[in-house]
Amino acid sequence: MFKEKIEEYKSTIETLESIDSLEVYSYLMQKGQELNKDALGESRRIQKNKVTQCMYDLYVDKEDERFKAWSEATIAAGYAFILVDIFNSMTDEEAKTVTVKDFNKIELDKKLTMNRQTGYFQMIEIMLNKVK
């Protein structure tokens, strides 16, 4: 399921970028609003679940047997939505074989500013550590 999700998001991002590079940001902001409809509970928004490399508050953890995240920043929440969706689609066995490099295939990092890239990759690392 991981490869299918990666391809799905890569295709969506490429299509949006072919229309206008700002469409990718609009998409991320829309996904960010969706993320916070089923956000990580306040009791889980603690330092050990914080993506410290993000300029804004961004938290991720497993809750009710699946990943959830929360951020006040819509673009960070947007990439968090995508990562949560990808991780929640994987089996435990599949998640144990995935690396940070596997996420390069989406090429979402190339659409983000340097500060956002740092938070994006740190969030992936945090999530991978929680499934190993």
Ordered structural domains, the chain, with CATH: 2-131 (3.90.1010.10)
pLDDT in the model for residue 80: 98
Query: Quick one: CA dihedral 23, 26, 31, 34, positive or negative?
Result: negative
- Quick: pLDDT tens for 74-103: 999 999 999 999 999 999 889 889 999 999
At residue 21 the predicted structure's pLDDT band, cuts being 50, 70 and 90, is confident
User: How confident is the model over 111-121, as a mean pLDDT?
Assistant: 94
- Checking if the pLDDT of 104 tops 90, the result is yes
Work out the pLDDT band at 6, boundaries 50, 70, 90. Answer: very high
**Neighbouring residues of 70: CB distance < 8 A, sequence distance ≥ 6:** 35, 36, 39, 40, 45, 57, 58, 59, 77, 80
pLDDT tens digits, 28-66 = 999 999 999 999 999 999 999 999 999 899 999 999 999
Nearest to 33 by CA among 87, 64, 84, 76: 76
pLDDT value at residue 132: 82
pTM of the full structure: 0.96
